[in-house]
Chains A and B, each alone.
Chain A
Amino acid sequence: MLRQISIDSLMPYFGVVVLIIVGSFFFPQILSADYLTQQLQIAAFLGLLATGATIVILLGHIDLSVPWILTGAAILSTALVGSGNPVLNVLAVPAALAFGACIGVVNGIGVAILRIPSMVWTLAVNSMLLGVAVLNTGGFNPKGESSTLMVTMASGDVLGLPISFLIWIAISIALALFLVRTPFGRYLRSIGFNEKATFLSGVSTPSVVFAAFAIAGMCSALGGVMLAGYANQAYQSMGDPFLLPTIAAVVIGGTSILGGRGGLFGTIGGALFITLLTSILSVMQIDDAWRNIIFGVIILAMLLFQTLRKGATV
């Protein structure tokens, strides 16, 4: 775990501190415990998606089916709860996770067996999921509601810390240990560096790809379940605004988009940074246009800083 902490992955944490300090000059209430814990709670949604995305990006692939895995899981879980049947109510969260894992395996089949570039295949899977969702719900907002469990997961708190944040960190730590301590983690990174060499070393590369996409699918599904708990409903295209910030969070956290290099520690910082940046920009009531521009410029600046720093030392 400690080995993962490089200067690149510390960058977003540094950015978070700068944001809080600069923001507090304009709005002193940013320093209040209420505001900061609320940010941790919201960051968990993006963070869970980014955790899954990190696994796939370490592999050297990308998962563009995040939005509709998220929405599908939310629709599925709220529909099960909304049916009023107590058994289905209990099954809502596991069913959503299983759904995410299944779609992850479908992604894996296209990428590992059919050898379709992940960027295109996951995009096609995303549009098929959209089609299924539209067919199922008739294009209207799906009916259903969130269970108490889902609401607690999204909005509850323990000892002043939001439960959503604790779930996110617990999953991140578990996955980080999994990546460092098990062969799977080493295979994952080595496929990211060189798939051919990994295959020649006797690793069953397709099964690693399957597992990675399944984990990513489950993370997206869990994000969807918690988001449905937060909003107390599922709605069409609730996942669309999350796709690009997810990738941005992973990359800002120092994970190379080419695969192999990086880790979950940086991703946590990346998700915190992006959530805080979005939040502060909206607290300052900057209009949408400038918010987009500032968002883009800051991400570029952080990436440029990371590469230029390497240029100076190498």
Chain B
Amino acid sequence: MLNYMRSNRREVIAGFVLVTLLATYLGTHPRGASTYVMTIWANQCLILGLAACAQFFAVVVRGIDLSVGAVMALTNCIASYLLDGSALGIAFGMVAVVAAGAFCGLVNGLIIVFGRIQPIVVTLATASIFVGLALLLRPTPGGAVNYDLADAMTLDLLGIPTALILTTIAVVGFWLPFRRTGLGLGLYALGSSEQAAFQSGIDTRFIRLAAFTLAGLFGGLAGLFYSFVTTTGDAGIAAGFTLNSIAAVVLGGVLLRGGVGTLVGALAGAFILKTIASLMFFSGIPSLAQPLFEGLILAAAIAIGSADILRARNKLEVFG
């Protein structure tokens, strides 16, 4: 157990911070730890959580995805057309929405791999294109999502918020098995050292392509879940989510230089970020001062996360 905690130090710290924050939140909330409070909290967290998962796949291969928010906006707008009507139509619509997200990621990956351009620049440009497409679909916010489905996805099951169940499914059903596959290991190999990965016979181009496609896929899932929560399509949501997803993965212990961190950490980081925001709401701090406190807490959390620097024995270790 102790060994496990030591080797997953970053996730353990993030988890600890999250539990403390959540306890404070539920303690200060006027309605306490009711299902209602938990459900609203979990929904907000999972939207950013999925966006952070998307960012994680780009970051772990030493890239960055500035189009996460744009993919969410685009898939959200697609969802607002497809997720209403017959049951079969809706089922098809959900698949189509996620596929659209994955396709966006694939386009990013293809340009990065075959155009040999830095991910940060490529996704900056494609983000503009995706937002443009979203605006073509929904010049003004509107559309609808089937209410029964939205309720099923965003309320609770036997008192447990559905969003938390979905999070568990993502971790246990997807991440834990995935990490042991060749592709999962390849992501870390590529992120740690591209040259070593290449020389070990790993198809680095395929891995990078897959990583960005997965990033798009999770962006699509984030957009889909956002549609369930808001039940409308809005092309203007991109900017906030992209930057927050980067902050979330860093809070969750994922290193921007690649190869370090897990999906669980990214999720924890996103949950921390959202819990801070909800905590502010009930904290009694004057509402005008809340953005400042949010910024201060974010900066402090990031600074503490980099406390590893104090353990450097040699000045050269600092440069990594």
Contacts and interface: CB of A to CB of B under 8 A. Distances in A.
A257 B129 CA distance: 21
Given A128-B292, A295-B128, A297-B129, A257 B118 contact: yes
Contacts of B291: 127, 130-131, 134-135
A64 B116 CA distance: 24
Contacts of A135: 288-289, 291-292
Nearest to A305: B115
A299 B66 CA distance: 15
Closest 7 CB pairs of A and B: A131-B292, A292-B132, A296-B128, A293-B132, A289-B135, A296-B129, A128-B295
Contacts of A296: 125-129, 132
B319 interface: yes
Select the residue from A117, A130, A258 with max chain B CB neighbours within 10 A. A117
B133 interface: yes
A297 to B, nearest CB: 6
A116 interface: yes
A297 B257 CA distance: 28
B158 interface: no
Q: How large is the interface on B (under 10, 10 to 19, 20 to 34, 35 or more residues)?
A: 35 or more
Given A115-B306, A240-B239, A308-B115, A131 B125 contact: no
B266 interface: no
Nearest to B318: A115
Interface stretch (A8-16, A87-95, A118-126, A178-186): A118-126
B165 interface: no
A161 interface: no
Contacts of B83: none
13 contacts: A114-B309, A116-B303, A119-B64, A119-B256, A120-B246, A129-B295, A257-B118, A290-B132, A292-B129, A292-B132, A295-B132, A300-B125, A304-B117
Given A117-B257, A129-B295, A251-B121, 12 more contacts: A62-B120, A123-B243, A124-B298, A138-B288, A139-B288, A248-B125, A258-B118, A289-B136, A294-B132, A299-B125, A307-B116, A311-B116
Contact of B125 (A138, A289, A303): A303
Interface string A273-293: 000000000000001111111
Select the residue from B125, B134, B135 with max chain A CB neighbours within 10 A. B125
Select the residue from B118, B247, B288, B299 with max chain A CB neighbours within 10 A. B299
B115 A307 contact: yes
A82 interface: no
Contacts of A292: 128-129, 131-132, 135
Contacts of A123: 243, 246-247
Interface in A56-107: 62, 64
Interface string A237-264: 0001000100110010000111000000
A156 to B, nearest CB: 33
B64 A293 contact: no
A79 to B, nearest CB: 17
A26 interface: no
A257 B247 CA distance: 20
Nearest to A139: B288
B87 interface: no
Nearest to A106: B299
A196 interface: yes
Contacts of B124: 244, 247-248, 299
B316 interface: yes
A195 to B, nearest CB: 5
A132 interface: yes
B84 interface: no
| Interface of A (DSSP majority class) | helix
Select the residue from B111, B256, B257, B302 with max chain A CB neighbours within 10 A. B302
Nearest to A291: B132
Contact of B298 (A127, A199, A244): A127
B272 interface: no
B104 interface: no
Contacts of B131: 292
Interface string B244-262: 0011001000001100000
Nearest to B308: A115
A256 B246 CA distance: 22
Contacts of A138: 288
Contacts of B133: 289, 293
A30 to B, nearest CB: 23
A224 B133 CA distance: 31
B50 to A, nearest CB: 20
Interface in B90-119: 111, 115-118
B246 A299 contact: no
Contacts of A297: 125, 129
B132 to A, nearest CB: 3
Contact of B303 (A110, A127, A200, A258): A110
Nearest to A294: B132
Interface string B157-168: 000000000000
Contact of B117 (A124, A132, A244, A303): A303
